[in-house]
């Protein structure tokens, strides 16, 4: 059986927006894509140079323009390898040191006494609060006060 049988009601209704707002959102997002294209342009240019081999050879190899890319790419590849190694080292260490190791034994259910100590209610009030379908607390003091319960 799958986990997500009932689909949620996704609210995506353009009629909730004015035409002006729709236009602005579309325009600014298109502008954002243009910015991305601008940023990616050196890569695109490089690809286009590669298609025109002679110009590619002239610009990238004879004039040594590829050196910048190679040095940056080299750093990034080294960085990637470093991150990959560090993440795997740390996760392997975690797994070997703590994985499958359950030093914390199941301490069983929380008792009423423990709840009384931690919660600040009396035992009788706590039992009443747990059994009622309607509970009123006052938390204005340092410890809570049970004001009312209804079955």
Partner 1 sequence: MQWLLSFLYHYPLFMAFVWILGSFAYRRRRIPDLENNRPVLNEYPRVSVLIPCHNEAACIAETVDRMSRLDYPDYEIICIDDGSTDRTLAILDELQPRYSRLRIVTLESNRGKATALRAGLLASKSEFLVCIDADSYLSPGSLHWFLWHFVNFPRVGAVTGNPRIRNRTSLLGKIQVGEYSTIIGMIKRTQRMLGKVFTISGVAAAFRKRALLDVGLWSPDMVTEDIDISWKLQEHFWDIRFEERVLCWIRTPEHVPGLWRQRVRWAQGGAEVMLKYSRSMLDIRQRRFWPVYLEYVVSVFWAYAFLFSAVLAVLNVFFDLPAPYSYATIVPPEWTGTFLALVCLLQGAIALSFERTVEGGLKKYTFWFIWYPLVYWLLSAAATIVGLPKAILKPRGRHAVWTSPDRGL
> Which residues contact partner 1 by CB under 8 A?
1-6, 8-14, 16-17, 21, 25, 28-29, 32-33, 35-36, 39-43, 68-69, 72-73, 76, 79-80, 83-84, 87-88, 90-91, 94, 98, 102-107, 109-110, 114-115, 118-119, 121, 126, 129-130, 132-140, 144, 147
Cα–Cα distance for residue pair 60/49, rounded to 1 Å: 8
Closest distance of CB 148 from partner 1, Å:
8
Cα–Cα distance for residue pair 97/91, rounded to 1 Å: 10
Closest distance of CB 25 from partner 1, Å:
4
DSSP secondary structure string for all residues of 128-149: HHHH-SEEEEE-SSSS-EEEEE
Length of the chain in residues, anyone? 151
Closest distance of CB 32 from partner 1, Å:
5
Whose Cβ is closer to partner 1: residue 54's or residue 61's? 61
Cα–Cα distance for residue pair 36/40, rounded to 1 Å: 6
- Name the token pair of 76: 């990034």
- Name the token pair of 93: 């260490």
Closest distance of CB 24 from partner 1, Å:
8
């Amino acid at each position: 059986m799958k986990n997500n049988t009932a689909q949620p009601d996704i609210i995506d209704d353009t009629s909730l927006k004015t035409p002006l707002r729709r236009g602005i959102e579309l325009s600014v997002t298109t502008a954002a894509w243009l910015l991305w294209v601008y940023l990616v342009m050196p890569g695109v240019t490089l690809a286009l140079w590669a298609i025109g081999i002679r110009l590619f050879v002239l610009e990238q190899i004879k004039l040594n323009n590829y050196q910048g890319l190679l040095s940056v790419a080299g750093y990034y590849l080294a960085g990637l390898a470093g991150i990959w190694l560090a993440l795997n080292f740390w996760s392997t260490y975690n797994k070997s040191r703590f994985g499958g190791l359950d030093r914390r034994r199941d301490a069983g259910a929380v008792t009423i006494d423990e709840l009384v100590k931690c919660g600040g209610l009396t035992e009788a009030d706590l039992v009443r609060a747990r059994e009622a379908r309607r509970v009123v607390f006052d938390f204005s003091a340092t410890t809570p006060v049970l004001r009312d319960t209804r079955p």
